[in-house]
Chain A
Amino acid sequence: MSAATKAIEAGHIWTFPGGIHPPERKDRSNTTPIEVLPLAKQFIVPIKQHSGPVGDLLVAVGDNVKAGQPLTQVGINNALPVHAPTSGTVSAIGPGRIAHPSGLTATVITIDADGNDEFYSFTPLADYTTLSRAELLDCIRQAGVAGLGGAGFPTAQKLALQRPLDYLIINGVECEPYISADDRLMREHAQTIIDGTEILLHIAGCEKALIAIEANKPEAIAAFEALLPNYPQLALRVVPTKYPSGGEKQLIQLLTGRQVPSRGLPIDVGLVMQNVGTAFAVAQAVLNGKPLIERVVTVTGDNIAKPGNYWVRIGTTVAELLNQCGFNPVADSKQEQRVIMGGPMMGFTLPDLDVPVVKITNCILVPSNQELAPAAEEMNCIRCGACADVCPAQLLPQQMQWLAKAKDYDGLEQQNLFDCIECGACAYVCPSEIPLVHYYRKAKAEIRNIAREKAKAEVARERFEARQERLEREKQERLERHRKAAEARKKAQAEAVAQGGDNPQDAVQAAIARAKARKAAQAAAAAKQNQEGDDE
């Protein structure tokens, strides 16, 4: 065992560069148990709630569905299905506003709840330890489990990468201020999370898991400490409170001292990471056969009367959720109430409150203007360098901001823009209130777009060349055909002549001779007439 591995085993906690300590404000929502809210009357289920292709529709308007019934299927493009959140009738399928910062629409399935909340019959797997990896991955995929930490990457796809693994890391850090959904889940469902972790270990073919929790969650730590002595393959790691220690690359650096290579994946350094919520969802899928149709959402902020954590069915609209929690929009008529999906650092302001809660929604934040000041006027960069000090990815935010404003995309790639995790630490410390992350996101979208256009142009060029080639080939073939036909004709004639038949060439010659004779006769007749005329 190498020294580094020994240090990991001994529970050494490394550190990562930069990071900030914003006010946590988690105590508003983490003191009460997770509550179950009354069912909404209508649910809006977007068919794409994860990263990757969308599934094919399985239902039509007017169909009756039961809770947990798949609405889309895996299909040929290996998509992630979505499920009905409750029993009811499909009332519409079509474009609808989704929870996306653009406020654009995507295909959504609207379900009118019948209020009975009847469940689809689930078939739990038999003892999972006897099942093959492929069967378990299929079960997780069919249950629609995506990474609940934020990115929504399909869990089965992440686990399907078959590479030797040193550790599975279960991420219970939840470092972003205000959010306490994972904290409450760990306190109340530590056993289920451990069961899920064991299943994940079994699928990944990995020996050991590290469960990471931030030091500001003593109750969750206690809940795991009480259970872990029975599980020698699981180890608890308490990481110091700092934002963004819950970032995948940052947490790996904290727990193992390893660095994920630029544009690489944790599996490149022998690790795989899953969120505690995902571990919980995997346990539900494998042990109970239950698909992912609800998640814990933190609803918090000064303008919420009943802040706390709630079990929310996927597809519940934000407006409905806020009404249940006592929503007091800001009274000032000049200032509209902001509603943020996600936390204050990485979340985005919702364009509209009729958008649904999706698999990756961990928090709805309704701040007053005192606690979270609205975006102020951007001022000039004073080159203080505070952003570079706090960047956890050791990038140069100030430099990247200049390049992004100048649209120098080559320069941005040289500055490793794509290593930016968009944590927002730079914008948080910026004394000039520059929305740095916005500039990076825009530049990233632009660079991706250019790459897409380039790939498309390449395809167009290939197709154009293929077409030119085809046209040329067809032309040659046509000429060849004509040539062959002419040859065959000549040959047939020659044969006919040889056999004593009429030579068409003779007929032509004869016709020419006849024409000539006629012309000569006409000329002679005319000459004669002229002569007669002269004689008179």
Chain B
Amino acid sequence: MTVVTALIVLGVLALAFGLVLGFAAVRFRVESDPIVDQIDALLPQTQCGQCGYPGCRPYAEAIANGDEINKCPPGGQATINALADLMGVEAKPLDSAHGEEDVKKVAVIREDECIGCTKCIQACPVDAILGAAKQMHTVIAHECTGCDLCVEPCPVDCIDMVPVPVRPDNWQWDLQQIPVKNVESSH
């Protein structure tokens, strides 16, 4: 008899706690970022494909599935460190097979040489090139990620990758002050 009572009591308790836990799991569900989104947020979004995947999101998915974290040259060491932090693995140097870390660049079309073939427009992963068939094309500079993908398809080689110019508003303070040049007083 006591055994039966014990079984009933334990059964009822198990049922009650099960219900409470089940309710809590539904009611207080924490919407966490899936790991792919978190990785994607750390990648530089140049969509350049230097990692071997067609864009940053596919690479993020590959990393989530165990690919190496050091295949992103535009992100450089900073991105590798951030990814290592997130994934809980050792940070390693950039894999030079995928390219070298470089200064930020932007594509510029030499407009008088452009023949209007639209090949670069189709190559641009972020739709940053404006133009139409047999019309001159131009790059929307502030949307360009510097991914380099438009250079290859151009049949007349009229696209240059130029470093982003330093302007007073994006200038990094120099710790070494620029020495003052002397201007002779003219009197």
Q: Determine how close the nearest CB of chain B comes to the CB of A34; give it in whole angstroms.
A: 22
Contact B167 A336 (CB under 8 A): no
- Confirm or deny: B160 has a beta carbon within 8 angstroms of a beta carbon on chain A: no
Given A100-B168, A106-B167, A445-B172, A336 and B181 contact (CB-CB distance below 8 Å): yes
CB distance from A216 to the nearest CB of B (A): 30
Contact between chains at A460 and B47 (CB < 8 Å): yes
Q: Are B171 and A102 in contact (CB-based, < 8 A)?
A: yes
Q: Which residue of B is nearest A337, CB measured?
A: B182
Sort chain A's interface into a size bin: 35 or more
Which residues of B have CB within 8 Å of A459?
143
At the interface, yes or no: B153 with Cβ under 8 Å from chain A?
A: no
A338-B180, A351-B180 are contacts. A102–B174 as well, Cβ < 8 Å?
yes
Q: Considering only CB atoms, which chain A residue lies closest to B74 in the complex?
A: A457
- From A351, A435, A453, A461, give the contact of B178 (CB < 8 A): A351
Contact of B185 among A327, A446, A453, A466 (CB under 8 A): A327
CB < 8 Å A-B pair total: 107
Which of B45, B167, B175, B183 is in CB contact (< 8 Å) with A461?
Answer: B45
> With A98-B168, A445-B172, A460-B46 in contact, do A336 and B179 touch (Cβ < 8 Å)?
yes
Chain B residue numbers with a CB within 8 Å of A103 are 178
- Indicate if A140 sits at the interface (CB-CB under 8 A): no
- Cβ B167 vs Cβ A104 within 8 A: yes
Q: Which residue of chain A lies nearest to B170 when distances are taken between CB atoms in the complex?
A: A449
In whole angstroms, how far apart are the Cα atoms of A332 and B31 in the complex? 69
User: Which of chain B's residues has its CB closest to A101's CB?
Assistant: B173
Given contacts A102-B171, A445-B172, A445-B173, contact A464 B181 (CB under 8 A): no
Q: What is the minimal beta-carbon distance from A518 to any residue of chain B, in angstroms?
A: 47
B38-84 with Cβ < 8 A to chain A: 40, 43-47, 55-57
Contact call B185/A329, Cβ cutoff below 8 A: yes
Within the assembled complex, what's the spacing in Å between the Cα atoms of A100 and B173?
11
A349 contact from B40, B57, B177, B184, Cβ within 8 A: B177
- Which residues of chain A are within 8 angstroms of B184 by Cβ–Cβ distance? 329
A350 at the interface (CB under 8 A from B): yes
Given contacts A323-B187, A329-B182, A336-B179, contact A461 B173 (CB under 8 A): no
- Are B45 and A353 in contact, with the CB atoms below 8 A? no
Given contacts A438-B175, A445-B172, contact A461 B185 (CB under 8 A): no
Q: Which of A328, A445, A461, A463 sits near B171, CB closer than 8 Å?
A: A445
In the complex, the answer to whether A442 meets B173 with C-beta atoms within 8 Å is yes
Does any Cβ of B come within 8 Å of A490's Cβ? no
Name A437's closest neighbour in chain B (CB-CB). B173
B125-A467 in contact (CB<8A): yes
* Complex-state Cα separation, A228 to B170, whole angstroms: 45
Q: Is B10 an interface residue (CB 8 A)?
A: no
Contact partner of B172 (CB less than 8 A), chosen from A322, A439, A446, A453, is: A446
Given contacts A449-B170, A467-B126, contact A460 B182 (CB under 8 A): no
A453 to B164, CA, bound (A): 12
Given A101-B177, A453-B44, A458-B45, 15 additional A-B pairs, CB 8 A: A98-B168, A100-B168, A102-B166, A102-B171, A102-B174, A106-B168, A323-B187, A327-B185, A329-B183, A329-B184, A439-B175, A457-B45, A463-B126, A464-B125, A468-B55
Interface set of A (CB-CB < 8 Å, partner B) = 98, 100-104, 106, 319, 322-323, 327-329, 336-339, 349-354, 375, 435, 438-439, 441-442, 444-446, 449, 452-453, 456-461, 463-468
Q: Which 9 A-B pairs have the closest CB atoms?
A: A457-B45, A460-B45, A442-B173, A353-B183, A463-B126, A441-B173, A102-B171, A461-B45, A351-B178
